[in-house]
């Protein structure tokens, strides 16, 4: 008999094949393609998008490399990144992902970033809510966490709007362009979500 966490991991990746497409009224969360590079470059090359992220800004070559890394994960069946495609014009606004998937505790960390041109229209809230719901209801995770810089007001607001609650402070948690910064951890559990 495999350990329960091993069985859970196998089931998780079985549920991810074929790669899930998550629909919301305005968005389609779907696998990434190489052809998404131009749309994604709008976000990756903008220092305001990566201001609170440990990466970036990226030039085209670095963005291509990022996509190649995601495609390699897709090909090995271990990908947890979704392109956020706007349905009305098929434009890719950014990415949402599940990181640090923990099969023992059945938890994962959600992350997201979108091109600045589309900020303030509720797209992040719609996409992040949909992926959180999918992770809990379909992928059977028990807890989704999010880690956010305390000055990242837009992201904190997104987390509040989807019902996440502050769980703990994370002192000196990330390095942002050579400077160590504190973060806040938010979370939502299966039981809150239901
Ligand atoms: C965080 C991010 C994804 C939000 O995207 P978005 O599509 O603009 O988000 P939404 O429109 O769904 O919601 C944003 C909310 O923040 C609010 N907001 C935006 N800037 C704000 C500010 N400076 N202070 C307070 N609230 C702010 C908006 O008014 C909105 O709340 P409302 O609906 O109550 O009015 C986007 O800003 C981004 O990509 N940032 C860079 C990457 C990033 O920080 N990712 C998260 C890492 S934890």
pLDDT digits (tens, 9 = 90+) for 118-134: 999 999 999 999 999 99
Q: Which residues line ligand 1 (CB under 6 A)?
A: 49, 52, 112-114, 119-125, 148, 152-155, 157-158
Number of domains in the chain: 1
What's the confidence (pLDDT) of residue 5? 96
Which one of 25, 96, 120, 160 would you pick to mutate in the ligand 1 pocket, going by the greatest count of ligand atoms within 8 A of its CB?
120
The pLDDT confidence band at residue 81, using thresholds 50, 70 and 90, is very high
Which one of 46, 154, 159, 181 would you pick to mutate in the ligand 1 pocket, going by the greatest count of ligand atoms within 8 A of its CB?
154
> Ligand 1 atom closest to Cα of 52?
44
φ and ψ at residue 114, rounded to 5 degrees = -135, 155
Here the CATH number for the domain that contains residue 180 is 3.40.630.30
What's the confidence (pLDDT) of residue 1? 83
């Amino acid at each position: 008999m495999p350990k329960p966490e091993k069985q859970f991991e196998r089931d998780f990746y079985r549920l991810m094949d074929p790669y899930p497409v998550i629909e919301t009224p305005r968005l389609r969360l779907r696998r990434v393609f190489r052809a998404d590079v131009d749309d994604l470059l709008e976000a990756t090359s903008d220092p305001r998008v990566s201001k609170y992220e440990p990466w970036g800004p990226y030039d085209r070559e670095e963005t291509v490399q990022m996509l190649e890394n995601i495609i390699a994960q897709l090909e090995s069946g271990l990908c947890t990144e979704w392109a956020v495609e706007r349905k009305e014009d098929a434009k890719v606004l950014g990415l949402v992902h599940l990181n640090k998937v923990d099969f023992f505790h059945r938890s994962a960390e959600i992350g997201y970033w979108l091109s600045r041109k589309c900020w303030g229209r509720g797209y992040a809230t719609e996409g992040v809510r949909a992926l959180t719901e999918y992770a809990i209801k379909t992928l059977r995770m028990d807890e989704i966490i999010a880690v956010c810089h305390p000055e990242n007001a837009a992201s904190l607001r997104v987390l509040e709007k989807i019902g996440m609650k502050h769980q703990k402070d994370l002192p000196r948690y990330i390095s942002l362009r050579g400077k160590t910064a504190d973060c806040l951890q938010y979370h939502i559990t299966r039981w809150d979500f239901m």
